[in-house]
Amino acid sequence: MPLVLHVDGGRWRAHLRSVVDAEPGTVPVIKGNGYGFGRASLARRSEWLGVDTVAVGQYDELDSVASRFRGSLLVLTPWRAFHADAAPLSGAAGKRVVHTVGRIEDLRDLVRRSDLPGTGPRVVLELLTSMRRHGLSAAGLREIADSTAGNVTVEGVALHLPLAEAGGPGHVGEVDRLLTDVVAADLETRAIWVSHLSPTELATLRARWPDFTFRPRTGTGLWLGDRGALEVRATVLDVHPVERGTTYGYRGRSAPRKGHLVVVAGGTAHGIGLEAPLGEASFRSRAASVARGGLDAAGLVRSPYTVAGKARLFAEPPHMQASMLFLPAGVTPPAIGDEVPVRVRFTATDVDEVRLG
């Protein structure tokens, strides 16, 4: 298959198990492209992990997960009236969903639309953090707490924290302040759903707030946390020798030197994009490169593909499902059908196949 994510199955499963064992309340996040694996596959994997809840990003992702994972389904995007068409709000399906609520009017709307006698909709109340993406103020949380009794099941408070800066002060101070607001709101729930806290921060918070249960939501650190278990490789689809000046490609460029064009799987449809231009792109270094006949001077741009041990240049911008690389003379080209490594952003790449080895 053209663009393949190879997974060292044993090593990957051991990593997943170790994350969940270390943080018992872990909530795997399954959203977007499923971190490169696909949402369906991660849903089955979460069932295997034995967690009680997974999180999806938005309502239209529920279907791909609900039939493959039996537990509760947290939706991270806060409720808005315009989500009503995509949201299960009654019956067995409605009972499994935990909605995120960040505004008091949204809670009223959700309660009005739901048909879940006895319990009402299950919600987590999101508090605004320094991210300032979504959420209630401390006053909003108190107000909502007063108005929820009886018609809604509050499953906890959600905090979406920014990514920690290396060597920075961390999140403990901010979480401390927010938990003071939670205590002041006098909610019955003691579950705090959090993201992007380090194991050390979590341990500190658990020790400081023993009455609360922390539920870390994690995607990247879980699914992609052991990069050594994952490798994306692209199949070589074609190879052509070229002389200096041979024209090629959609734009009729001419080859800057003798070498080979190597056509590899993976294009814009897979999420393969142009990398930053070759380093040292200042005018002077570029002029020096022109003088040396350097390939960057020919306007070629670094690609994420490695051939014969080196990152290679795109011969032209990636096509929809394939890319053309330039391999200078002196480097033995790969054979058609060989696979070459390609560096990807997993959350922005759609591979053709995931192969568990």
The residue ranges that bind ligand PLP (CB under 6 A) are: 29, 31, 76, 160, 195, 217-221
Question: Taking the complex as a whole, how short is the minimal distance between the CB of residue 276 and ligand PLP, in angstroms?
Answer: 23
Question: Taking the complex as a whole, how short is the minimal distance between the CB of residue 202 and ligand PLP, in angstroms?
Answer: 14
Q: Which is nearer to ligand PLP, 46 or 195 (CB)?
A: 195
Q: Which is nearer to ligand PLP, 256 or 271 (CB)?
A: 271
Q: Which is nearer to ligand PLP, 224 or 263 (CB)?
A: 224
d(CA 205, CA 211): 11
Helix and strand counts by DSSP (H, E) for the chain: 10, 18
Question: Taking the complex as a whole, how short is the minimal distance between the CB of residue 330 and ligand PLP, in angstroms?
Answer: 42
d(CA 39, CA 256): 43
Q: Which is nearer to ligand PLP, 215 or 312 (CB)?
A: 215
309: tokens are: 């041990």
Q: Which is nearer to ligand PLP, 148 or 195 (CB)?
A: 195
256: tokens are: 């800057």
The three-point CA angle 156-44-46 to 5° equals 35
Nearest C-alpha neighbor of 249 from the set 325, 173, 143: 325
Q: Which is nearer to ligand PLP, 162 or 341 (CB)?
A: 162
| Phi and psi, residue 73, nearest 5° | -125, 105
CA distances from 302 to 273, 310, 314, 342 (A): 10, 11, 6, 12
d(CA 34, CA 25): 21
Q: Which is nearer to ligand PLP, 29 or 230 (CB)?
A: 29
Question: Taking the complex as a whole, how short is the minimal distance between the CB of residue 259 and ligand PLP, in angstroms?
Answer: 40
Question: Taking the complex as a whole, how short is the minimal distance between the CB of residue 76 and ligand PLP, in angstroms?
Answer: 4
280: helix, strand or coil: coil
The DSSP bridge pattern shows strands 230-242 and 339-341 to be antiparallel
Q: Which is nearer to ligand PLP, 74 or 116 (CB)?
A: 74
d(CA 89, CA 160): 25
Which residue's CB comes closest to ligand PLP? 219
Question: Taking the complex as a whole, how short is the minimal distance between the CB of residue 127 and ligand PLP, in angstroms?
Answer: 12
User: SS3 sequence, 103-170?
Assistant: CHHHHHHHHHHCECCCCCCEEEEEECCCCCCCCECHHHHHHHHHHCCCCCEEEEEEECCCCCCCCCCC
Residues 56, 97: contact at Cβ < 8 Å? no
Question: Taking the complex as a whole, how short is the minimal distance between the CB of residue 217 and ligand PLP, in angstroms?
Answer: 4
Question: Taking the complex as a whole, how short is the minimal distance between the CB of residue 344 and ligand PLP, in angstroms?
Answer: 16
